[in-house]
Amino acid sequence: MSPSDIVIVVLCSVVGFTLQGAVGFGMGILSSPIFVLIDPRLVPGPVLASTMVFTLAQTVRERRAIDFSGLRWAVAGRFIGTFPAAALLVFLPTDQLGLLFGVIVLFAVGLSVSGLDIVPRPPSLFVAGLFSGIMGTVAAVGGPPLALLYQRSSGATVRGTLSSLFLVGTVVSLFSLVPVGRYGYDELLLTGLLLPGAVFGFLVSRRFVSQLDRGYTRQAVLAVATFAGLVVIFRYFSA
């Protein structure tokens, strides 16, 4: 990567983790589409690894608001959805993964803005966890399915419950990426570029929790993600 690419990666991680700390998700859907254009090795491994560190801190901070009764069903779904997604990473060529990534990002955006009102009950939580596992492992974008279910809950419940799921899910996803060759020494080094953003985002996001207009924030995040997802798809078909 060029120095300018490194600056963009660090800035995206700072913004992405600050948003995730404030609203419960945002790092993957904002930064991953940009990262895949700069260096595909950043997605999904380094994004997942840095998110694991961030969500550990976030889970501890919001531990009192976590919906543990619903979390177990979502975790079960995420666990089952992870391994087929890891196998998919092995068999699909890199260029087709880029196309799949773009489609997944746009699908995630569609879920987030759909306006669907689904109650977080065991069946819906399991299905949302399943989609979260598939989307998180392939594209490091696992937040929207669960955020959709908890969209009417308090901000603390959204942040705490999603962070808990991401913590478990990223560990499972990372372990599934290692044997298929998608997280090794190079990806570990790239993870180091994202960790300063994770630390900064965790420390700063607390200041925005009571002030941030979640509606406008989500609109901005989803607009950027939509643009980046379309760019990835356009590049595939114009290659």
Helix 122-139 with 94-113: angle, nearest 10 deg: 140
Query: Residue 200's closest CA among 19, 42, 4?
Result: 19
Residue found by looking up tokens 């609109």 in the block = 219
Q: Kindly report the backbone phi and psi dihedral angles of residue 128, in degrees, each rounded to the nearest multiple of 5, phi listed first.
A: -65, -40
- What global pTM score does this model have? 0.82
Encode pLDDT of 143-189 as tens digits. Answer: 888 888 887 787 788 889 989 998 998 999 999 999 989 999 999 99
Query: Residue 22's closest CA among 67, 54, 50?
Result: 54
Encode pLDDT of 97-111 as tens digits. Answer: 778 888 888 888 888
Query: 234 is in which domain, residue-wise?
Result: 3-238
Which tokens belong to 221? Answer: 């995040």
Mean pLDDT of 67-84: 93
Confidence of residue 234 (pLDDT cuts 50, 70, 90): confident
Residue 24: which region, alpha, beta or left (left: phi > 0; alpha: psi -120 to 50)?
left
What whole-number distance in Å separates Cα of residue 13 and Cα of residue 16? 5
Cis peptide before 33 (omega within 30 of 0): no
Confidence of residue 52 (pLDDT cuts 50, 70, 90): very high
Q: Are 127 and 69 a contacting pair, CB within 8 Å?
A: no
**Percent of the chain residues past pLDDT 70, beyond the cut:** 95
Q: Are 182 and 45 a contacting pair, CB within 8 Å?
A: yes
Apex CA 37: angle with CA 35 and CA 39, to 5°? 65
Mean pLDDT of 210-232: 70
Domain count, the chain: 1
